[in-house]
Amino acid sequence: MFIPRRVGKIVPDSLRRPNKSEVTPMCRNIKTLFNFDPPVTEEEVRAASLQFVRKISGFTKPSKANEAVFLAAVDEVAGVSTRLVRALETTAPPKNREEEAAKARARAAERFGAA
């Protein structure tokens, strides 16, 4: 249980907001896949699915004992992700991959300094 000092009431851990130091950002390798021109490829969905399963499991490369389950999870996440991206609808115009990549590089340069 977490007891805020100012409020003085008990708040369950599941309802409290994490401190900024406790917030873990999404893995930077998982990219947005929806609403791009040209559309997302199977390889991009698979790469994002692999990163997601790595993040969830804590394995970058599973042991032989866990390899089959790990790869099955990647396949399932890729399938669900593909269905999701194909089912989503928007009225916004598709984003250009090169423009979005340039914006991401500019943000990284601002955040981490020019390399």
57 sits in which H/E element: helix 42-57
Diameter over CA atoms, the chain? 54
pLDDT digits over 3-22, tens only? Answer: 555 555 565 665 666 555 55
Taking residue 81's Cβ as centre, other Cβ atoms within 10 Å add up to 19
pLDDT digits over 17-52, tens only? Answer: 655 555 455 456 678 899 998 899 999 999 999 999
Q: Is the peptide bond before 38 cis (omega within 30 degrees of 0)?
A: yes
pLDDT digits over 59-110, tens only? Answer: 999 999 999 999 999 999 999 999 999 999 999 999 998 998 899 899 989 9
Strand 36-37 and strand 95-96: pairing? parallel
User: What's the distance, Cα to Cα, between the start and end of the chain in Å?
Assistant: 44
Check residue 113 and give its pLDDT.
Answer: 81
| Assigned token pair, 51 | 């990163």
